[in-house]
Amino acid sequence: MARIRLRITPLAGYLFALAFYSGMMFLSVINEKEKAASLTLDSEEPAFIRSHKSSRSKNDNLALQDVHDFYDRISTLETKCRKMVRFGGTYCKGYLDNEKYVCMDDDVILRSRNCTVYSFGVGADTTFDDMASYYGCDIFMFDPTVNETELKMSNAKREVFYPWGLSSRHYTQNFSIEFEDKPSNLLVGEFTTYEDIRKRLGHQKRDVHYLKIDIENMEWSVLPLLVRDGHLDRVSQLAIEVHTMDIIKAPPEKVLPMLQSYWQVLESLKQLGFLRANHRFNAVLETLYHDRAQNRTISTCMEILYLKRGFNRRLHLQRHLPPPEVSL
C-alpha cells in the first residue's frame, strides 16, 4: 500500500490559521449578540425599517414639501410584521373593503381567549368583528349611526354592541338612515369620549389589544386627546382608517397646511412607541384627489396599522417586578 504524505506549505498553514481565527471570532460575536438579546426588552422585534417607497430623511418632522410628500411619508413603513393576518372584509364595486390587518408577532400577538378589541365605526359590516370574536377576543363594538337590530353579529357570546360614537366631547346627533332599501329610520346618536366609554364599561385598567378607529374624519380631533391623556398606553395595535378627503374641496392654498396638521397628529403616535406596520390606500372613487400641479390622482383615504413593539413583554415584566417598598 502506498503511503500518502501530507505536506503543509507555509501558505496553507497561514490560510488554515486565518480560517480558524475567523470562525472563532464569528462564534464570539454570535455569543455576544445572544447575551445582549437576553438582556434587551425588545430583542426579538423586527428592526426599525423604511419602505422602499420612500428615500426620505429620518427626520420626518420637517415641513411637508408638497401634497405627495404627505402621502409618501404616510405610506412609508417603520416596522415589519412577520405574521400579518387579514380579519374580515367584503367586496364592494370590485374592491375589498372594511378588512383589517392584525399582526401575530410574539411581542404584540392577540392571545386567543385573553384579548380585548374595541371596534369604533362598525357600519353594516361586522365581518372583522365576527372573525376577531371567533379567534377568541372579546369584541366591544361602537357606532351611533346604525340600528343594533339590523346588525348581523354571528357570535353573541363575545360581541357586544353599544350605540355610542367616539368623539372629543359629549353630544347627541340625529341620523336618518336607510338600510337595505327600507324606509329611513330616525336615530338619536350619542357621542362621547374614549375616557367616558372606558369608565362606563369599567375598563379603566383593562388592556385593549386591538383598537380599531374608523370614525369618518373625526380621528383628527380624537387622536390628539388619546395621545395627550395617555389613553393609548394600554393599546398594543392601533388600526386607523385615515381620512384626508377634506383637501378635495379645499382652496389650493389651504391644502398643504391641512396635510401638515394631519401629519403632526400621526407623528405624535411615534412618541408613544407606535410604528406603521401596514398601509393600504382605499380605492374609492369619491375620495380621489387630482393634483393639477403634477397631473396625478391620489387616494385620500387609507388603512394604517400601528404596532407598539414589545407590548406583551412589557406587560410580562411589569407583572413580575417586585412590589415597591413602602416606609411605615
Which tens digits make up the pLDDT trace of 117-171?
999 999 888 999 999 999 999 999 999 988 888 788 888 889 999 999 999 999 9
Torsion angle, alpha carbons of 273, 89, 160, 209, to 10:
-20
Q: How far apart are CA 146 and CA 124, in angstroms?
A: 7
Average pLDDT of the chain to the nearest whole number: 81
**234 pLDDT higher than 80:** yes
Helices and strands (H, E) in the chain, number of each type = 7, 16
Amino acid identity, residue 60?
Answer: D
**308 pLDDT higher than 60:** yes
Q: What is the pLDDT of residue 130?
A: 95
- 46-161+206-316 CATH, one of 1.10.10, 1.10.540, 3.40.50, 3.30.70: 3.40.50
**316 pLDDT higher than 60:** no
Torsion angle, alpha carbons of 54, 55, 58, 64, to 10:
-60
Note the residue count of the chain: 328
Helix, strand and coil percent figures for the chain, each rounded to 5:
30, 25, 40
**204 pLDDT higher than 60:** yes
